[in-house]
DNA sequence: GACGGGTATTGCAACGTTGCATTCAACGTA
DNA sequence: TACGTTGAATGCAACGTTGCAATACCCGTC
């Protein structure tokens, strides 16, 4: 079933090397020979053995993508774009789900499965910057979402603080004053939630609105269920928010669901802004205003970083810190508030 | 940076073979030697070279997962579960997005990247059963979603026709008589839409309701935008449906969005059922009734099939046709109609 | 002291491919 | 005729690992 260069060579009456030359198309081969060999290649359905090529060439053509969860729409969309961008560079993507497990993240960073991949894109969740300094078993690493200031690795993300500030400012501009923030994660050393909280507070301060701790709601994870729970807590506590800035779209959608079920009119009684720009947000009832990171550019530039480091490994180029653009897409969930 | 068995052996003053034995832990090694070698292994941060192992062992430890799109929630959730089930078997998943391109699907089936993967799970989209008979370059294949009756490959799916019949019957039981079907794909040879349409028609027939071609709406793709467009067409045409059975949750959510924007009350004016059981459906406004396939079991059994074929390749076990359970989860979008 | 049986360690070969250098033939030119 | 040049085809070696078989060694026993 599986035929090798040797088999083709024997059948075509040439040397292994010549067959290899035909396959690669690089060296000089007489037209007649090439045709004969090609015919045998087709007959036997020859497929080059990747494992052998990898061993010989030292490259696997694989890049790893480590994300918390694939079933999370944001990461699914991102993974899809990474896979596309990788395909354009003739790379294949292997997916690793860390489930936010620090051990899993550490394991991936330390020895990425034994040179299985040529490079690793990781969206760290529970590991803080201080741990990220170690290079991943020799292969280049790109960090997503986490600002690793002292890092040894390239880093691609939106300006989380600025984006959060804009989202909050948008709600303030609509006259809202009791704006809740859903999505604090004080138990994690992950910086993303911190940055978004900073931006939220900055906007409040600039508008002269005093922050209210009762409006800052922590969550365990970032799923719809967590957003729903947080919204319930807000409604049943006495906090009385007139708007919500959720740190992710999933949280926002959970909150929106609870608000709707509780009879609140959105946006009249409660305005709502999310973060991530997932496709669901566009089709929610009402459609959700959200901060949209340029995910395509995140994928593209992360792969570009890897490509650069892979093709010229030794150059002492310092770690890049790439900020990709974002925009606030205003929809019905904040309509008439601006 | 990258150290090999050879380096460790030299430093520890033993043979390459002994180091290999320590790493694998299989053969007999004196405790003292083992400790010394292990120390050097740690010092040098040795990681086995996968490419060499693959070449030697003939296995790569990779399984391919070919799906139309990763950003589609159903496939994202499924991919996540496949990745989990694979991890439990010490396999890693490589993702291939076909974007419904028949050429891409064919390419994957014919030669799956040259023995890069030990097996392939493919969710064929635009390729019909007649083309699926070819085995994928020697590696085992499992088909998802498509009933390949004459296939040479194992097959895992829910009973699409039965599930669709149940969904439609549920709407009929609620007194609906003008039930639209959104999601026909007459231009594709993919069987899934056909089966769901069959089930829909069967339910109507059993209830003595005459099918109305104006209520059977074709779509180009299966995204929210397509569902939204279909719903618009239905509302602006004169069809006047009192319920909608959408062939996927994404279509349903698009339809729901348009219905809400048009001022229709769901479920009073329009009841809605989807298919796929994606997480979004649970948190829609109102929550969407949907057919929930046991996705975990789909992933699990697909991998089980691969594992069986990989570990005992030559056995002439005929292709399996595995039907996994599903259930209709009734939520607010059809509340009070049953 | 020779021998069998077990343990510990090792060398050889092979997995399938490609880079490099070599060989061989043919041809044009001095 | 001799020589350099080019084109075509080949052989050798190596990538890093592991299965197999062989070796070396120690100990207890006859």
Partners of B87 on chain A (C-beta within 8 Å) are 97
Q: What is the pLDDT of residue B129?
A: 60
pLDDT at A338: 46
CA dihedral of residues A278, A283, A289, A292 (deg, nearest 10): 20
Q: Which residues contact A32 (CB under 8 A, 6 or more apart)?
A: none
Lowest mean pLDDT segment, chosen from A140-149, B195-204, B227-236, B276-285: A140-149
Residues of B in contact with A62 (CB under 8 A): 94
Q: Please check whether residue A137 is in contact with residue A122, taking contact to mean a CB–CB distance below 8 angstroms.
A: no
Residue A4 buriedness (CB in 10 A; 0-12 / 13-18 / 19+): middle
- For the stretch B2-23, pLDDT in tens is 889 999 999 999 999 999 999 9
pLDDT band with cut points at 50, 70 and 90 for residue B108: confident
Which pLDDT score, from 0 to 100, does residue B221 have? 94
Q: Which positions in chain A touch B80 (Cβ < 8 Å)?
A: 69-71, 97
Question: What pLDDT is attached to residue A129?
Answer: 60
Q: H-type helices in B68-151, by residue range?
A: 73-88, 102-110
For B70, which DSSP code? S
* Of A29 and A299, the one with more pLDDT: A299
Question: For the domain with range B60-158+295-324, which CATH number is right: 3.30.70.1070, 3.40.50.300, 3.40.50.2300, 3.40.50.150?
Answer: 3.40.50.2300
| pLDDT of amino acid A1 | 61
Which of A205-209, B56-60, B82-86 is the least confident region? B56-60
What pLDDT is recorded for position B338?
46
Asked if pLDDT for residue B216 goes beyond 80, the answer is: yes
Contacts 24+ apart (CB under 8 A), B230-234: B230/B182, B230/B183, B230/B254, B230/B255, B231/B182, B231/B255, B231/B258, B231/B259, B232/B258, B234/B180, B234/B182
Residue B292, Cβ neighbours under 10 Å: how many?
20
Which residue approaches C16 most closely, CA to C1'? A52
pLDDT at res. A337 = 46
In the structure, what pLDDT confidence band is assigned to residue B177 with cuts at 50, 70 and 90?
A: very high
Per-residue CA distances from B179 to B191, B241, B245 (Å): 22, 6, 7
User: In this predicted structure, what is the pLDDT of residue A138?
Assistant: 73
Predicted local confidence at residue B337, as pLDDT: 46
Look at the block and give the residue holding tokens 């947000």.
A281
Identify the weakest region by mean pLDDT among A136-145, A270-279, A321-330, B255-264: A136-145
- Per-residue pLDDT at A326: 98
User: What would the mean pLDDT of B35-55 be, rounded to a whole number?
Assistant: 92
CA B249/CA B223 separation, integer angstroms: 9
**Interchain CB contact of B284 with A (< 8 Å):** yes
Q: Residue B134 pLDDT > 60, yes or no?
A: no
Computed over every residue of chain A, the mean pLDDT equals 90
Kindly state whether A25 is in contact with chain B, defined as any CB-CB distance less than 8 angstroms: no
Task: State whether residue A39 sits within 8 Å of chain B by CB.
Answer: no
Residues A88-111 have a mean pLDDT of: 85
Q: Same topology for domains A5-48 and A61-157+295-323, yes or no?
A: no
A310 reaches B (C-beta below 8 A): no
pTM confidence score: 0.92
Higher pLDDT, A331 or B138: A331
In the predicted model, is pLDDT for residue B54 greater than 60?
yes
With an 8 Å Cβ cutoff, are A70 and B79 in contact? yes
Residue A314 pLDDT > 80, yes or no? no
Which tens digits make up the pLDDT trace of B144-155?
987 655 567 889
Whether B287 and chain A come into contact, CB under 8 Å, resolves to yes
Structure-model confidence comparison of residues B288 and A146, the more confident one: B288
| CA of B15: nucleotide with nearest C1' | C10
pLDDT in tens, A200-256: 999 999 999 999 999 999 999 999 999 999 999 999 998 889 999 999 999 999 999
B5-48: CATH topology is 434 Repressor (Amino-terminal Domain) (1.10.260)
Residue indicated by tokens 């990461």? A75
Q: Domain residue spans in chain B? A: 5-48, 60-158+295-324, 160-293+328-334
pLDDT of residue B162: 97
For domain A160-293+328-334, is the CATH number 3.30.1360.80?
A: no
Near-strand C residues (CB closer than 7 A): A 2, 4-6, 16-17, 20, 23-24, 26, 46, 48-49, 52-53, 55-57; B 14-18, 21, 27-34, 52, 55-56, 58
Q: Report residue B135's pLDDT band, with 50, 70 and 90 as the boundaries.
A: low
Find the closest chain A residue to B227 by CA distance.
A283
CATH topology classification for A61-157+295-323: Rossmann fold (3.40.50)
Query: What share of chain B has pLDDT > 70, as a percent?
Result: 91
B17 CA, D23 C1': Å apart: 14
Q: What is the pLDDT of residue B299?
A: 98
Alpha-carbon gap, residue B158 to B322, rounded angstroms: 8
Which of B94 and B110 is assigned the larger pLDDT?
B94
């Amino acid at each position: 079933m599986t035929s090798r260069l040797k088999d083709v060579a024997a059948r075509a009456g040439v040397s292994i090397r010549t067959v290899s030359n035909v396959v690669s198309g690089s060296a000089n081969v007489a037209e007649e020979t090439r045709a004969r060999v090609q015919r045998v290649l087709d007959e036997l359905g020859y497929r080059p053995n990747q494992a052998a090529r990898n061993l010989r060439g030292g490259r696997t053509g694989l890049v790893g993508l480590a994300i918390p969860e694939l079933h999370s729409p944001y990461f699914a969309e991102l993974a899809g774009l990474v896979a596309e961008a990788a395909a354009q560079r003739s790379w294949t993507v292997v997916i690793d789900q860390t489930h936010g497990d620090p051990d899993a993240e550490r394991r991936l960073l330390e020895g990425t499965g034994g040179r299985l991949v040529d490079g690793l894109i990781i969206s760290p969740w529970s590991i803080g910057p201080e741990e990220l300094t170690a290079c991943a078993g020799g292969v280049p690493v790109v960090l997503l979402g986490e600002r690793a200031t002292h890092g040894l690795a390239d880093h691609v993300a939106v300006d989380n603080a600025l984006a959060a500030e804009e989202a909050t400012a948008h709600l303030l501009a609509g006259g809202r004053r009791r704006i809740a923030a859903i999505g604090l994660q004080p138990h994690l050393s992950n910086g993303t939630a911190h940055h978004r909280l900073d931006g939220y507070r900055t906007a409040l301060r600039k508008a002269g609105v005093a922050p209210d701790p009762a409006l800052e709601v922590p969550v365990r994870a970032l799923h719809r269920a967590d957003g729903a729970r947080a919204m319930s807590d807000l409604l049943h506590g006495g906090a009385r928010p007139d708007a919500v800035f959720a740190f992710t779209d999933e949280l926002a959608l959970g909150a929106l669901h609870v608000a709707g079920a509780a009879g609140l009119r959105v946006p009249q009684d409660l305005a709502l802004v999310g973060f991530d720009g997932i496709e669901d947000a566009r089709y929610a009832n009402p459609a959700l205003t959200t901060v949209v990171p340029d995910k395509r550019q995140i994928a593209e530039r992360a792969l570009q970083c890897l490509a650069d480091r892979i093709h010229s490994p030794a150059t002492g180029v310092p770690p890049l810190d790439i900020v990709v653009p974002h925009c606030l897409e205003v929809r019905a969930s904040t309509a008439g508030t601006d």
